Amino acid sequence: MSVQHDDSIPTREKVLVIGAGPAGLAAAAALRAVGLPFDLVDGAEHVGGVWSGASGKTNEVVW
Ligand SMILES: Cc1cc2nc3c(=O)[nH]c(=O)nc-3n(C[C@H](O)[C@H](O)[C@H](O)COP(=O)(O)OP(=O)(O)OC[C@H]3O[C@@H](n4cnc5c(N)ncnc54)[C@H](O)[C@@H]3O)c2cc1C
């Protein structure tokens, strides 16, 4: 996937990505690729979301 930074987008503000699961991590990677500043936060103490296997919702590690 190719992402290009539109220079008409103001970049004084930071993007806030909520959730460090696969979707949030992919969003963060795309933002970094185009040089847009962001913070990535998660309510859990680990990144990876469900894929971390540490959600407490399942004893099975995904993948
Ligand atoms: C039991 C199970 C097995 C699975 N097995 C597979 C598999 O084998 N292969 C596969 O491809 N997919 C599998 N999936 C699906 C895969 O886990 C999901 O598609 C994927 O995790 C979705 O990613 P996500 O980032 O959208 O959400 P999540 O992985 O759910 O991540 C969301 C993150 O956001 C955080 N969050 C949520 N709300 C807030 C809030 N208000 N404030 C701060 N943080 C917040 C959570 O703590 C979490 O870290 C499985 C799912 C389950 C439940």
Q: What would the mean pLDDT of 24-47 be, rounded to a whole number? A: 93
Q: What would the mean pLDDT of 44-53 be, rounded to a whole number? A: 85
Is any atom of ligand 1 closer than 6 Å to the C-beta of 21? yes
Q: Where are the alpha helices (DSSP H) in the chain?
A: 22-33
Q: What would the mean pLDDT of 7-24 be, rounded to a whole number? A: 85
The alpha carbon of 19 and the centre of ligand 1 are apart by a number of angstroms equal to 9
Q: What is the pLDDT of residue 24?
A: 96
Residue 37 burial (10 A CB sphere; 0-12, 13-18, 19+): exposed
Q: How many CB atoms lie within 10 A of CB 17?
A: 19
Pick from 51, 60, 63 the residue to mutate for probing ligand 1's pocket: most ligand atoms within 8 Å of its CB: 51
Is any atom of ligand 1 closer than 6 Å to the C-beta of 42? yes
